Structure 1
Amino acid sequence: MYSFSQLCCVGYLCYLSVLDIQKRRLPEGLLAAGVGVAAAVAVLKIFLGFGPLLLSLAGAAVGIAFLWISKITDEAFGYGDSILIIALGLFLGLWKLLYLLMAAFGLSAIYSMVMMKKQNFQRTTTLPFVPFFGAAYVILLLARLF
């Protein structure tokens, strides 16, 4: 059975996916709330003995690295996506975050290849990335990796 926090994460990612598709922008307040809730869940997991603090902090550090990538690429990978990675890193921990990132980047690569073949997609076409996070998270939940 899936935990309440996992189902809340699915709902959060679905909502952010819709916003990312429609507006191509993620609300800062909603992202900040996600980081706050993820930090609270990480602290609760630590106190209940479900995970070490170091893995949650390392997961957040991956998101901070993506913030740096966003800055040096002039937001080719958006700041909102990077802040979401911080939240997911705190919530999931380092190793599960890395699984999620591999799955999300893999899904986006497959989607991009199909769209380049079918439509007039170019290499420079931008895509909303949060839907790939959501799809990857659901796939990994169903595969029982989380």
Structure 2
Amino acid sequence: MTQTLTYVCKLHTSNEQAKQIDHTLQTFADACNWIHETVPKRIRNRLQMQKLVYHDVRDRFALSANLAIQAIRRVCMNRKAAHTNKIKVVEFGASSIPYDARIFSFRERDWTVSLTMLGSRERFELDTGDYQRGKLAGQLPNA
């Protein structure tokens, strides 16, 4: 089993970039809520769900292909967890987006990350301490 370590790093953003991040988070949450409301509750399989709503999610919310897949994946994971724990899936909030290697990249030479946002890809400078720099040096992290 592989151990996953988590390091928290701040992003240096302009006001415009901060608004774009907030807008992307809210749109992603809206897409998750729409998927959950649209797809029959009994469906928890990612491929079945993807077949039903993928193109609609892309068109309706202007998400990139990978962000649309991540939204579908989040709904599936929450439905599976709710089914296992016998609880109800509540509304999705604008709190986070799971970024993978296709929509996130880290550049060590200038300590920046590149993230796919709505309609564009933005580069952000990282505000890291010596500890984070030491741990991230020479690695290929994901978000």
TM over 0.5: no
TM-score normalised over the length of structure 1: 0.31
Structure that is richer in strand per residue: 2
